[in-house]
């Protein structure tokens, strides 16, 4: 939902939660399944090849893992990840502010259609040379993208932003626990569920059960998104899969948006605001994450993405006036702790399972930092 905001982790058990952008930037995470077609993250959860990991076999000699390799992580890429998360949640806050005008489903249509237009213009995907099974996978991926966004925005219409993001995180978290295949990993799932139960008791008024159901459904679609993004990335190069899937999602959402909002969707001021939401929720976070993943380890990225519920709660407070009680803040902290724990446990398992690196010549010096422009 748009990440975040790891598709590849579904195969390896190593970092499924880096997709906490899966929603994340709309659908930026995952079209290349972490097997990497070259875009550092735009297609997955940081398992890209050439840009993010490929220069040193993904072991972090400097070019892909940060300017200091294992000795430290540069601060500016961390700032980019946090800024991308902030843009994503600010975009969601602006979307909520537009609900009285266009409704939740109308907002979904605006976001997906504009995101699809931007991606098609930037990526210019190839549309020939694919098999029927390839098209079935990418269409299924697009339907999941559309369904995930529709559920998320419908939940936002009934629940605070921070609460919605906290509940939906359960989807990729449980997927991460399942693929880790260790009983101890379920402790993180239990901790997360405890946080959600506490969250339901923390407000002055009970949470809307329908909103909770929509948020939980978003989590289920998010887990499906992670799995399908891996398969899409294996069949489509670069960002082609996500661009095509976004078109499918936009077309899927169009009838719902038109039926609920009507011609108001095509008013110039509404179109401009919809474009702004699409840029904030998708395009800018994509770019920031792409740059950041060329300089920080995947594990660091995944932990940072686990902060999404806290940033969402802060955006809801500042922009929408959605204040939190102490109990609600504690509940969100429990879910964040569970997310970070699951990420670190999966990363540790992946490192232990990885074959030892062969002896080789001394590593090349770190590549110079790429300009932000």
- pLDDT for res 203: 52
Q: Is residue 102 part of a domain?
A: yes
The answer to whether the beta carbons of residues 199 and 163 sit under 8 Å apart is: yes
pLDDT at 202: 57
Q: How far apart are CA 333 and CA 341, in angstroms?
A: 12
Task: Supply the pLDDT for residue 355.
Answer: 67
Instruction: Give the pLDDT score at 79.
Output: 87
pLDDT, position 109: 95
What is the distance, to the nearest Å, from the Cα of residue 148 to the centroid of all Cα atoms in its chain? Answer: 11
CB neighbour list of residue 266: distance below 8 Å, 6 or more residues apart? none
pLDDT of res. 298? 67
In a domain, 15, yes or no: yes
Q: What is the SS3 assignment for 4?
A: strand
Distance CA 171, CA 3 (A): 12
Residue numbers of the domain that contains 272 = 9-57+73-351
- The pLDDT of residue 95: 92
**Positive or negative, the Cα torsion across 206, 208, 212, 218?**
negative
The pLDDT of residue 20:
39
Query: Is residue 367 assigned to a domain?
Result: no
pLDDT for res 73? 54
DSSP code string of 183-213: GGGHHHHHHHHHHHHHHHHHSSSPPPHHHHH
Contact call for residues 7 and 263 (beta carbons, < 8 A): no
In a domain, 80, yes or no: yes
The structural domain count of the chain equals 1
What DSSP assignment string belongs to 29-85? S-TTTTT-SS-SSTTSSS--STTTTGGGTTS-SSTTT-TTGGG---HHHHHHHHHHH
The tens-digit pLDDT sequence of the chain (373 residues) is: 543 343 333 333 333 444 433 444 333 343 333 333 333 333 333 333 333 333 333 333 333 344 444 445 567 888 888 898 899 889 999 999 889 999 999 999 999 999 999 999 999 999 999 999 999 999 999 999 999 999 999 999 999 888 898 888 888 777 777 776 677 777 887 888 888 777 766 554 568 889 999 999 999 998 898 889 889 988 998 889 989 999 999 999 999 999 999 889 999 999 999 999 999 988 888 778 777 877 877 667 777 777 888 888 888 888 888 888 888 888 888 888 887 887 777 677 667 666 665 554 444 443 333 333 3
Q: Please, which residues have CB within 8 angstroms of residue 112's CB and are 6 or more apart in sequence?
A: 26, 145, 146, 149, 246, 249, 250, 253, 278
Q: Distance (Å, rounded) from C-alpha 316 to C-alpha 366? A: 40
Structure-token match 């010096």, residue found: 365
Spatial distance between the Cα atoms of 51 and 199, rounded to a whole number of angstroms: 40
- Which is it for the CA torsion 94, 116, 212, 22, positive or negative? negative
């Amino acid at each position: 939902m748009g990440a975040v905001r790891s598709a590849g982790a579904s195969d390896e058990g190593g970092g499924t939660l880096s997709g906490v952008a899966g929603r994340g930037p709309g659908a930026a995470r995952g079209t290349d399944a972490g097997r990497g077609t070259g875009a550092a993250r735009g297609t997955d959860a940081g398992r890209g090849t050439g840009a993010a990991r490929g220069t040193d076999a993904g072991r972090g000699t400097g070019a892909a893992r940060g300017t200091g390799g294992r000795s430290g992580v540069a601060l500016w890429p961390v700032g980019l990840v946090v800024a991308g998360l902030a843009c994503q949640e600010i975009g969601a806050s602006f979307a909520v502010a537009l609900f009285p005008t266009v409704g939740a489903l109308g907002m979904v249509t605006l976001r997906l259609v504009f995101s699809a237009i931007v991606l098609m213009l930037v990526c210019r995907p190839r549309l020939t040379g694919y098999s029927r099974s390839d098209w079935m996978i990418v269409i299924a991926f697009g339907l999941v993208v559309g369904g995930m966004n529709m559920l998320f925005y419908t939940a936002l219409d009934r629940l605070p932003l921070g609460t919605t993001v906290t509940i939906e995180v359960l989807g990729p978290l449980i997927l991460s626990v399942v693929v880790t295949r260790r009983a101890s990993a379920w402790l993180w799932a239990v901790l997360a569920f405890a946080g959600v139960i506490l969250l339901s008791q923390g407000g002055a008024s009970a949470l809307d059960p329908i909103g909770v159901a929509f948020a939980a459904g978003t989590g289920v679609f998010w887990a499906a998104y992670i799995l399908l993004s891996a398969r899409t990335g294996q069949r489509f190069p670069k960002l082609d899969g996500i661009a095509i899937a976004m078109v499918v999602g936009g077309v899927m959402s169009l009838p719902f948006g038109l039926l609920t909002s009507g011609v108001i969707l095509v008013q110039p001021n509404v179109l401009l605001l919809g474009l702004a939401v699409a840029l904030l929720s998708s395009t800018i976070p994509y770019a920031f994450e792409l740059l950041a993943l060329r300089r920080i380890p995947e594990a660091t990225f995944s932990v940072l993405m686990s902060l999404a519920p806290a940033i969402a709660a802060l955006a809801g407070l500042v922009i929408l006036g959605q204040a939190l009680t102490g109990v609600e803040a504690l509940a969100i902290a429990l879910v964040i702790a569970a997310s970070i724990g699951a990420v670190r446990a999966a990363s540790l398992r992946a490192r232990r399972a990885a074959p030892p690196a062969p002896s080789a010549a001394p590593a090349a010096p770190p590549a110079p930092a790429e300009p932000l422009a």
